[in-house]
Amino acid sequence: MFNPAEEMSSIAFDKIIGGALNAVVSAQNNSSLTTVDFIKNVGFQNDENGNTVKPVYVDFKYPKEVAPYRAATPDSYRVEITGGGKGYDEDELNKGGYTVDGLPEVKLSFTVDSNGAISAVNIIGGEDKLMAKLKGQDSVNVTAKTATGEGANIAIKKVAGSKATPAKFQDMTLQVPLLTIVPIPFIRVATTDIELNVKINSIYNSSNTSDTNVDASVSASAKKKGFFFSGNINMNASVSHQQKKSTTEEVKKEYSLNIKIHAVQDDLPAGMSRILDVLEESIVPKLSGGNEAGEKEAGGKEEGGKAA
């Protein structure tokens, strides 16, 4: 007779669920070994004996600007006050109490401090005449003339312009550890959902048949003998009984196992992160081939960074 409790207890849940969990653990183990192999085979070089000796580096060559481009500058001037004097009246100076050697067209603006000393002089007119004058000489003197002021020493000096200077470059080589520029596979199983469905179908059939057969036959004979009669009676009888009983019981079990695994790229272990930090600190640009004179003019054809 079908017993649901007995049927459920006969199912090997430990093997079904345990097998799925063992498969997940095995997959995590294989993932860790893949990470180890990647780091050893891709990130480090081995000697002839297979021992890890040093990290794999990638060389990048690039031109580094060591001196910027400087545009051409025209000739200019500056006002140089070597002595501010004393006792000057600012209003009197600004009304024309000064002379510029041979240049009446040059107009100046003066600033006088509380002690009567000239602290600043600005040119407010006639700059073209002043620059034409300075082409033939290095400076022009300014004479401040007021009723009370004295001792000022002022000159307008030429500042020579410069030609355009091209930028200067040097060929540099940057060695970068390969492990710092490629993603390291470090997969972790975050969640595992196991869904097990068991369906049990029971079929029970029972049949019982019974048959009884009776056969009988009678025969008689008589004869006379004097005053008496004598006779014989024969009777035949047969009985058969047949009973059939059959029972059929069928139990079907159907299993459905659904496993959902969510894997993520996990953070690197603290030890590996420390190794990458040390490798990053070793990234230092160096002169390419010790070429101190690897200079190129701005606007020239440059080569970008190339991985050696």
pLDDT in tens, 187-229: 888 888 888 787 766 665 666 666 666 565 655 565 555 555 5
pLDDT of residue 163: 92
List pLDDT tens digits, range 242-282: 666 677 767 677 777 787 888 887 777 778 788 788 888 87
Of the residues 121, 140, 159, the one at which a domain ends:
159
pLDDT at 299: 40
Helix (H, G, I), strand (E, B) or coil at 274: helix
Collapsing DSSP to helix, strand or coil, 39 comes out as helix
Pair 192, 249 in one domain: yes
Q: Which residues make beta-bridge pairs with 59?
A: 175
In a domain, 91, yes or no: yes
For residue 292, which of 169, 133, 183 has the smallest C-alpha distance? 169
Give the pLDDT of residue 102.
85
Whether the per-residue pLDDT at 142 is higher than 90: the answer is yes
Residue 279 lies in a domain: no
CATH of the domain at 118: 2.40.10.380
- pLDDT score for 165: 92
User: What are the CA-CA distances from residue 108 to residues 56, 61, 146, 234 (Å)?
Assistant: 70, 56, 15, 175
Q: How confident is the model at residue 306 (pLDDT cuts 50, 70, 90)?
A: very low
Residue-level pLDDT at 295: 40
Note whether residue 168 is domain-resident. no
Instruction: Kindly state whether residues 46 and 90 are assigned to the same domain.
Output: no
How high does pLDDT run on average in the chain?
79
In which band, very low, low, confident or very high, does the pLDDT at 166 lie, cut at 50, 70 and 90?
very high
**pLDDT of 298 higher than 80:** no
Asked whether residue 66 is domain-assigned, the answer is no
166 neighbors 69 (Cβ within 8 angstroms): yes
Residue 51 lies in a domain: yes
Range 105-130 average pLDDT: 93
pLDDT of residue 277: 83
Structure confidence at residue 19 (pLDDT): 85
Cβ atoms 51, 107 nearer than 8 A? no
Tallying the residues shown for the chain, one arrives at 308
Same domain, 191 and 258: yes
Same domain for 194 and 51: yes
Tell me: do 214 and 142 sit in the same domain: no
Whether residues 46 and 191 fall in one domain: yes
Residue 72 clears pLDDT 90, i.e. is over it = yes
Q: Which residues of 100-118 are buried (b: 16+ CB within 10 A; e: fewer)?
A: beebeebbbebebeeebbb
Q: Is the pLDDT of residue 38 over 90?
A: no
Sheet holding 306-307, edge to edge: 285-287, 168-177, 57-67, 306-307
Number of domains in the chain: 2
3-state secondary structure 277-302: HHHHHCCCEEEHHHCCCCCCCCCCCC
State how far the Cα of 139 lies from the Cα of 130, in Å rounded to an integer.
Answer: 10
Contact at 8 Å (CB) between 262 and 189?
Answer: yes
139 shares a domain with 103: yes
Above 80 in pLDDT, residue 34?
yes
| pLDDT level of residue 24 (50, 70, 90 thresholds) | confident
- Domain end: 159, 177, 195, which one? 159
The residue among 182 and 249 whose pLDDT is bigger is 182
Tell me, yes or no, whether 94 and 25 share the same domain: no
Could you tell me if residue 298 is inside a domain?
no
- Give, in order, the Cα–Cα distances in Å from 201 to each of 5, 7, 17, 249, 250: 13, 10, 22, 11, 8
Answer yes or no: is pLDDT of 159 > 80. yes
Judged against a pLDDT cut of 80, whether residue 296 lies above it is answered with: no
User: Does position 123 have pLDDT exceeding 70, yes or no?
Assistant: yes
Q: Is 238 a member of any domain?
A: yes
- Percentage of the chain lying above the pLDDT 70 cut: 74
Q: Does a structural domain hold residue 287? A: no
Domain range holding 46? 4-55+187-266
Mean pLDDT of 39-57: 82
* pLDDT given at position 127: 92
Please compute the mean of the pLDDT values over residues 66-72 and round it to a whole number: 91
